[in-house]
Amino acid sequence: GQNIDQPTEMTATEGAIVQINCTYQTSGFNGLFWYQQHAGEAPTFLSYNVLDGLEEKGRFSSFLSRSKGYSYLLLKELQMKDSASYLCAVRDRSSSGAGSYQLTFGKGTKLSVIP
């Protein structure tokens, strides 16, 4: 995945809804992932999109438009524990290994949930 772009920081209120956008430019697209990472911890998997449309999983939803190179992560009913970095990652054809795919992460969006 190359040129993965997402906002650096966002702030939202407890109980509200927040949308984190991600745009990408890549070749050999093979899926888009969202991960959550709390400070000092490893990333944890949230969602995966490979076809256009919306995937819903509890309070989290993720949307993909392959033609627009665009995805968003929607978090509903925000809780204080949702304060974390959210990483958009794209799996695409690797330049380092023939026939291989690799996952490349965006810089992440630091979400702060305030009371």
Partner 1 sequence: DTEVTQTPKHLVMGMTNKKSLKCEQHMGHRAMYWYKQKAKKPPELMFVYSYEKLSINESVPSRFSPECPNSSLLNLHLHALQPEDSALYLCASTPGQNTGELFFGEGSRLTVL
Q: Site residues (CB under 8 A) for partner 1? A: 30, 33, 35, 41-45, 48, 87, 91, 94, 96-97, 100-108
CB 47, min distance to partner 1, A: 9
| Cβ nearer to partner 1, comparing 75 with 89 | 89
Q: Cβ of residue 8: shortest distance to partner 1, in angstroms?
A: 10
Give residues with Cβ within 8 angstroms of 47, minimum separation 6: 33, 34, 55, 57, 60, 61, 62, 73
CA distance 88 to 114: 23
- Shortest separation between residue 48's beta carbon and partner 1, angstroms: 6
As a whole number of angstroms, the distance between CA 15 and CA 31 comes to 30
